Amino acid sequence: MVEPLTHIVRKAGDTETKLPKVAVLRWGHRVRDKRLTAHVALTARALGVSKFILADVKDEKVKKTVEKVTEKWGGAFHFKMGENWRQIVKDWKTTNGIVVHLTAYGENIQTSNVLQRIKSTGKDLLVIVGCQKVPSAFFSKTVSDFNVAIGNQPHSECSSLAIFLDRFFEGRELSKEFERAKVTLIPQVRGKKMVEV
């Protein structure tokens, strides 16, 4: 069952508009990819995602790393693992959400209108981020409603996710406040300043 997620809220004057919820499904985690998977999860958390799912495998070390960051830096971020990717996709679509598969073979986010079409659905997003060669089923309509490329050159899945989220949220995620944070950074021209909250 898909759990409720929190939204990034856009404020327009005194009114608030809730944006679609976004969750990330990480597929293909390998032992050599532990650090990269943790970075994908932390990128998702920092850029407005409320739920991260490590599909088909369990990695307690990665989970602990991400939960430790969330506990210290705040925010509502749920980390799930070990669930079957097909069931996750099925449950997501059952709740009227859409699935976006990030792949270098997809529609280019810059040269097509794919982002506008995704936004026009008004639906919550499950973003699939692969690691190794993904099953061909990921490209099919039964799994992915949209196959999106952040450029059509080889690159990191972490960079794909970051660029996609930034464009989807139009930069609003960069000023998001994280509730229950124990520490916060104070922006500086030079030097470093971190305070306990």
- Integer Cα distance of 38 and 77 in angstroms: 13
The residue ranking higher by pLDDT, 99 or 176, is 99
- Does residue 1 lie in a domain region? no
The per-residue pLDDT for 29 is 83
Question: Can you give the residue range of the structural domain that contains 118?
Answer: 9-196
- Integer Cα distance of 184 and 27 in angstroms: 31
- Integer Cα distance of 186 and 3 in angstroms: 33
The per-residue pLDDT for 16 is 54
- Integer Cα distance of 5 and 92 in angstroms: 12
3-class DSSP state of 129: strand
Q: Is the pLDDT of residue 141 over 70?
A: yes
pLDDT band for position 155 (cuts 50, 70, 90): confident
The per-residue pLDDT for 154 is 85
- State the CB neighbour count (10 A cutoff) for residue 33: 18
Please, are residues 77 and 45 in contact by the beta-carbon 8 Å criterion?
Answer: yes
- Does residue 59 lie in a domain region? yes
Lowest average pLDDT, out of 16-20, 50-54, 66-70, 120-124, goes to: 16-20
Q: Kindly report the CATH number assigned to the domain that includes residue 33.
A: 3.40.1280.10
3-class DSSP state of 54: strand
- Does residue 153 lie in a domain region? yes
- Does residue 26 lie in a domain region? yes
- Does residue 169 lie in a domain region? yes
Tally of domains within the chain: 1
- Does residue 3 lie in a domain region? no
- Integer Cα distance of 30 and 48 in angstroms: 25
Share of the chain above pLDDT 70, in %: 91
- Does residue 84 lie in a domain region? yes
- Integer Cα distance of 53 and 41 in angstroms: 9
- Does residue 4 lie in a domain region? no
pLDDT in tens, 26-43: 998 877 778 999 999 999
